Structure 1
C-alpha cells in the first residue's frame, strides 16, 4: 500500500511539473524574448518550483554541497536524472549546457535553452561543436557563464559503469578554464526513466576545482576518479552500494 500511495504522489508530481514548465514558459515569454535576464529568471523560477514541490509532494529534498562557481568555468557533472540538472542550474548564476541539438525543437525547453546560451551538439559531430565553441570564446562572442557538460554523455543509472568521453577534456584544455567537478546521488531517488520518486535526500556536490593547465589524459583520469569516488560515497550515504551493483 505504501508503494502504491508513493507512486500516485509521484504521478501527480510529474504531471504538475510538466504543466508548470508550460505555464512558467508562457508567462515569462515576453520578457525572455527581449532579455536574456528574463530567460534566466524563468528557468530559475522553474527550478525552484520543482525543488519545492518535490519536497512536499513526494518527500524528496534537494541539497547542494560544496561551493558553486560564479566565474567562467567548465562544470563537469555526473548525470543521473533530470533532478541533477535542476539542482546544478539553480545553484550557479549563469549556467549553460552542452545539449543534444534535437532539444532545440522541444516546446518551451528549446526556446529557453537557446536564450540562455546552451550549446547544441549534433550526435557524432561533438568535435565540430567544440571547435566552434572555442572559436566563439576566443572572439569574445560566446555568452559568459558556467558551461555545464556531462562527461559520460548521457544519464547513467546508479551502479552502471560508463566511460568518460574526451569532450570534457578538450573543452578544459582548449578553453583554458578551470574545471569544477560535480558528484551526485540523485538517481537513487529520481530514476533516469519512470514515474516513481523515492523519498530521501538527493545531493549534488561541487568538488574542489581542477586548475587549468593539465594535459588531456591526466585531466580526464583525475576528473573520473574524483567524480566517481564522490558519487559512490553519496550513493552509499543514500543507502545504495554502487560497488555491489556495477554493471
Structure 2
C-alpha cells in the first residue's frame, strides 16, 4: 500500500482460498487487459472470459498469454461448456482446454436442462484435467430453486470434485441469488451458509450494493465474482472499509 492506516482488515495473501475476486472479461482488447493488470492485477485472483466470448474474441491466445505472464489464471465461462455439451462435443471441449493450456474450467447448467448426476460426472471427469468451478442456479429468472435444493446441489458438486461452487447471478446480478431488482435473497444465502462452508462458495455479485451486503455479512475475505474490471479496485476499498459503504465496518478490529 502507498501509506499506513491503522484498523484496516487483513486480506488473505495470494494465492488465496478466501477473499477471492473473480473479474469478468466480456471482450477486453489486449491493450485493455494490459491496463487492467497494471491497475488491478494485485487484487484480482482469476478472470472469467464471459459466457462464450472466447469463441469470437480476436487474439485469444495473446490475451491468455498476457494474463498468464501476470500470474492471473483465466477460464472460459460455463455457457461455453454448455454449448459444447448440447452439441455432443464434450471431448472437443476437453481438447480446447488442452489447446489453450487452461488450468481451470467452469461446469454449469444455467442455460440447458441437465440431469444432475450427469453434471456431477462432467465435474469428476474434468477434475482429473483441471481445477473445476461449478455453478449452481438458473439463468431463467422465472425458475426459483428452493434453499434445500441449492444446498443439495452444492454439496453434491463439491463431493464430485468441484474446488468451489459458484452462486449464479449472471453478469447483471438479477437472477439466482438475487431478485429481478438486484436485491439479495438473504434468507436463501443464510440458509446455504448453515450447510456449505463460506470459503467453498464464490458469490456472483456484480452490483456494488450486493458486494457490500456480502462483505458486511461474511467479512473482508468473502469470495466474490462477476466483478467488472473497472470495479475491482473499488471493490478492494469496500473490502478494506475505505469506502463510505463499509467505512465503520472494521474500525474495531
TM range (shorter): 0.3 to 0.5
Name the structure, 1 or 2, with higher relative contact order (CA <8 Å, separation 6+): 1
Q: Which has the higher helix share?
A: 1
- TM-score with structure 1 setting the length: 0.32
- TM-score with structure 2 setting the length: 0.32
